[in-house]
Structure 1
Amino acid sequence: MLDTVFGLPVHPLIVHATTVVVPAAAVAVLLAAVWPRFRRWSGWLPVALAVAAVVLTPLSTESGEALERRVEQSDLIETHSQLAEGLLPWVIALAVAAVALYVVGRRERGARTSRNEGEAGTTPTATGTATTAATTRTGGAARWLLTGAAVLGLVAAVGTSVQVVRIGHSGAQAAWGDAVSQTPPPASGDGDSDGN
């Protein structure tokens, strides 16, 4: 299915999308984990990016396996393939963290709205007092959710980023390692010319 399009391998096309979306998701989740204002402002953005990363990762792997069947086998390609297979668990953890941070951000926005309404001069009622007491009782649970989501978000964002760099580096070595000379080309005017 994900083999070629117009006679060209699909893998480079999908991989370019993956190499943009996955790091963008990692940065968005990282910011949501450490910056409350971004977490409240961003809303669904980290979740959408993380879900897109979860979708693109297996597509990249599948198209890479199709391309692997068409090229000469080498240790570099095998290393690249093995590293690529390790990305999916990282992006799944990233998506879980993004959802948890979204829930935390939504609660923060709700608490902020309630606090602003309370400061606007509304008079407390018996239900308002009960709601405040309930909010205080669940504050510990919200802190645990925030802490857990932030730690998971940080670990997943760093792990995802490191894995993407390793995969990209190994892919570049496999694709270009033999094609690029290790010695620099001669400087202009230093080489032989036919115009003598």
Structure 2
Amino acid sequence: MFDQVNGLPVHILVLHAAVIFVPLLALGAVVYALAPAWRPKLAWAVALLGLVAPVATFVAKESGEELYDSKISTFSPKGKEILAQHMDYGSMTFWFSLALGLLALAMVAATFRPERRPPLVLNLAFIVLSVVLAAGSGYYIYRTGDSGATAVWGTY
């Protein structure tokens, strides 16, 4: 299922979705948490990104594992080491984006009606969690991409 589309590896096609949607989710979630005045305008985008970004990272992760399994015999030991690290970073990217996506959906659900304001403690929790999860997502999407690029464009 996650192997090929028209002869091209699915991983190469979908990884760019994760590279775009995860940082957008991180930015959207932090702005949504910090700027209550913007929430009505951002709610639909944050909720949509909260669904799409984790799905994109999951498909990228699964398709990457399929690609690795099909090409494992062509890699040097150093290449295998870099790709193992790349896959670890990809797994962490998925978990951070999933947690951030669930938080984004929870924030939108809790603040959807402007007349029902969540308690201050909940707003502070949204701010802290969104910043922490956004930073983790950003870090791991960068590390995943960097290690993947090293594996592809390096001389391993």
TM over 0.5: yes
What's the secondary structure of 2:84's corresponding residue? helix
1:103 paired residue number: 109
2:121 paired residue number: 144
Q: What does the per-residue CA deviation read over 1:115-157, in whole Å, with 9 as the maximum and x for residues that have no partner?
A: xxxxxxxxxxxxxxxxxxxxxxxx7x61111111111111111
AA paired with 2:144? I
1:155 paired residue number: 132
AA paired with 1:110? E
Q: What does the per-residue CA deviation read over 1:92-127, in whole Å, with 9 as the maximum and x for residues that have no partner?
A: 2212221232134324x226xxxxxxxxxxxxxxxx
* Alpha-carbon separation, structure 2, partners of 1:35 and 1:60: 31
- Give unmatched runs, 5+ long, in structure 1: 112-138, 180-196
1:25 paired residue number: 25
Residue 165 of structure 1 deviates from its aligned partner by 0.3
1:14 paired residue number: 14
Whether contact under 8 Å (2:61, 2:94) holds in the other structure is no
Alignment of 1:111-126 (within 5 A): none
Query: Which has the larger Rg?
Result: 1
What's the secondary structure of 1:178's corresponding residue? coil
AA paired with 1:149? F
More helix by share: 2
In angstroms, what is the RMSD of aligned CA positions?
A: 1.8
* Alpha-carbon separation, structure 1, partners of 2:126 and 2:148: 32
Segment of structure 1 superposing worse, 16-25 or 40-49: 40-49
Whether contact under 8 Å (1:34, 1:150) holds in the other structure is yes
Segment of structure 1 superposing worse, 63-72 or 97-106: 97-106
Percentage identity across paired residues of the two chains: 31
2:97 paired residue number: 91
